[in-house]
């Protein structure tokens, strides 16, 4: 943010300053080469931003966990530019399987939501009945695999039932992909050297009218949208330990494997 702020000649918001202070200890833990590479990447992005959007901005803000959308950094102005920042991965979203109905703005506690959560609760109960006194996922790989497959099948079945009946394909796409932002993916080599910076512009993707959900083994869920986009969702444990009650800690990583019309630019270090 500091590089962009100085390049544009505009201040950071108080929230952006607060978030930077919060993240300072994590930044200080990075190795010197990684730190230099991230600085180099930020300069590439700054130069790209200036050549693409100019300097018509008033300040730079930073989102927090309660903020809507996918943006991490927002260049505020008459036409704001929102950035989603990634390091060595290109996931679009990290949603929890339990809130599947809320992905598409269905109310928590509605019939679809309650039925979905009940099915996942049963999958969790069966999982716990299989693992005995185990406390970590890595110690029960076969039971974990069966849990993943069960959860993915439940999600696929419900998506294939809800989306056509309630016309929810567009809402699902908007939640997982979004629009009106720029994704910046910084890719580092194994020793921390900068490989490249990938710019993806999610301006206004074509809107889908339908979607087909296809479960795959090992916790994968493919979503094939009628606009040609295909998203791959990979289910995994959100923590290493297994809770003894309540929801098992699970989440998806979502990424686009087909994205027709997406504008992509690659910035290479000199």
**DSSP reduced 3-state for 7:** helix
Give the pLDDT score at 197: 97
- Phi and psi (nearest 5°) for 54? 75, -155
Please name every residue paired with 74 in a beta bridge, in sequence order, or none if there are none: 61, 82
The pTM assigned to this predicted structure is 0.83
Q: How far apart are CA 44 and CA 47, in angstroms?
A: 5
Give the tens place of pLDDT for each residue, 166-212.
Answer: 999 999 999 998 888 999 999 999 888 999 999 999 888 889 999 99
Give the tens place of pLDDT for each residue, 16-63.
Answer: 888 888 887 887 788 889 889 999 999 999 999 999 999 889 999 988
Q: Which two tokens mark 36?
A: 């230099």
Give the tens place of pLDDT for each residue, 201-222.
Answer: 988 888 999 999 999 999 999 9
- Phi and psi (nearest 5°) for 79? -125, 90
End-to-end CA distance of the chain: 21
Three-class SS of 74-117: EEECCCCEEEEEEECCCCCECCCHHHHHHHCCCCCCCHHHHHHH
Q: How far apart are CA 124 and CA 128, in angstroms?
A: 6
């Amino acid at each position: 943010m500091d590089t962009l702020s100085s390049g544009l000649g505009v201040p950071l918001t108080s929230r952006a300053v607060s978030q930077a202070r919060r993240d300072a200890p994590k930044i200080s833990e990075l190795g010197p080469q990684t730190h230099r590479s991230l600085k180099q990447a930020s300069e590439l992005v700054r130069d790209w931003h200036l050549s693409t959007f100019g300097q018509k901005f008033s300040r730079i803000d930073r989102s927090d966990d309660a903020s809507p959308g996918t943006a991490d950094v927002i260049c505020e102005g008459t036409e704001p530019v929102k950035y989603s920042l990634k390091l060595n991965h290109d996931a679009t979203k990290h949603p929890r399987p339990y809130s599947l109905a809320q992905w598409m703005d269905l109310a928590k506690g509605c019939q679809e939501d309650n039925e979905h959560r009940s099915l996942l609760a049963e999958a969790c109960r069966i999982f716990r009945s299989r693992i005995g006194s185990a406390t970590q996922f890595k110690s029960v790989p076969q039971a974990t695999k069966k849990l993943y497959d069960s959860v993915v099948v439940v999600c696929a079945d419900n998506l294939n039932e809800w989306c056509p009946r309630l016309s929810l394909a567009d809402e699902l796409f908007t939640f997982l992909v979004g629009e009106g932002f720029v994704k910046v993916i910084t890719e580092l080599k194994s020793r921390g050297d900068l490989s490249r910076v990938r710019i993806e512009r999610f301006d206004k993707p074509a809107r889908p009218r339908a979607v087909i959900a296809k479960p795959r083994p090992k916790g994968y869920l493919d979503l094939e949208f009628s606009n040609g986009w295909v998203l791959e969702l990979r289910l995994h444990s959100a923590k290493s330990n297994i809770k003894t009650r309540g929801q098992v800690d699970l989440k998806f990583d979502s990424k686009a494997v087909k994205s027709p019309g997406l504008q992509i630019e690659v910035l290479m270090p000199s």
